[in-house]
Amino acid sequence: MNKEQERLEWKNRIGETLVHPDGRTVTFLEQGIDEKGDFLILEHQIKREGMINGPHWHPMLTESFKVREGRMRFLVDGQEQIVESGGQITVYPNQVHQFGNISEQQLIMTHEIRPPGLHWKMFVLVHKLECEGKMNKKGIPRNPLWLGVAWECIDGYLVGPPKLVQKIFLGGLAKLAKVLGYRI
């Protein structure tokens, strides 16, 4: 796909909203290039309280979160930070992070990813698997091949298993899934 086709594909996604079975949404707001480079901006609306993801890190991505409504709890390199409505936080490459909704009501936040990597595909995949009932209660794909595909889309690494083990095992599952026709 050339740059123009890629630009049109991104442009066609603006406003696309993924609605999950639990009511949370992820909306594609913008993708582009500015003086800082490639970026992707999403909006998340989350109703349930609790952690949204497990601890992980990205070797190349910078993620910025701006809370528009509600409150978020972040753990970044072991330090807790609470971000209130109107506040923001940036997570830089190699920082271990996870976050959750601690709002009594709905959480609405914008999420900027630089460079975008495969993050939109990750959200599309998680949505697909949840809607098809293929995730366990912890949000992990039941099928190890889908787990490999999901791991590849995080553009990073999970905390726990050594990086090399993840590359070999989960990366191998992702490659096998592609050969077997698993597609987002």
Give pLDDT tens digits for 75-113: 999 999 999 999 999 999 999 999 999 998 899 999 999
Q: At what angle do helices 144-153 and 171-179 cross, to 10 degrees?
A: 110
Share of the chain above pLDDT 90, in %: 83
Residues in the chain: 184
> What is residue 115's predicted lDDT score, i.e. its pLDDT?
96
Give the helix ranges, DSSP H, for 34-181.
119-131, 144-153, 163-165, 171-179
Structure tokens at 119: 């993050």
Burial of 44 (0-12, 13-18, 19+ CB in 10 A): buried
pLDDT at 8 over 60: no
> What is residue 10's predicted lDDT score, i.e. its pLDDT?
61
**Arithmetic mean of pLDDT, 127-142:** 92
Q: Which amino acid is at 128?
A: K
Distinct helix (H) and strand (E) counts, the chain: 5, 12
Give the least confident one: 3-7, 96-100, 107-111, 126-130.
3-7
pTM above 0.95, yes or no: no
Burial of 31 (0-12, 13-18, 19+ CB in 10 A): buried
Where do the domains of the chain lie, and which CATH numbers do they carry? 1-117 (2.60.120.10), 118-184 (no CATH)
Pairing of strands 71-76, 50-51: unpaired
> What is residue 3's predicted lDDT score, i.e. its pLDDT?
57
DSSP code for 156: S
- Per the CB < 8 A criterion, the answer to whether 60 and 117 are in contact is yes
pLDDT category of residue 137 using cuts at 50, 70 and 90: confident
Average pLDDT, the chain: 92
**Arithmetic mean of pLDDT, 4-22:** 77
* Rg value, the chain, Cα: 16
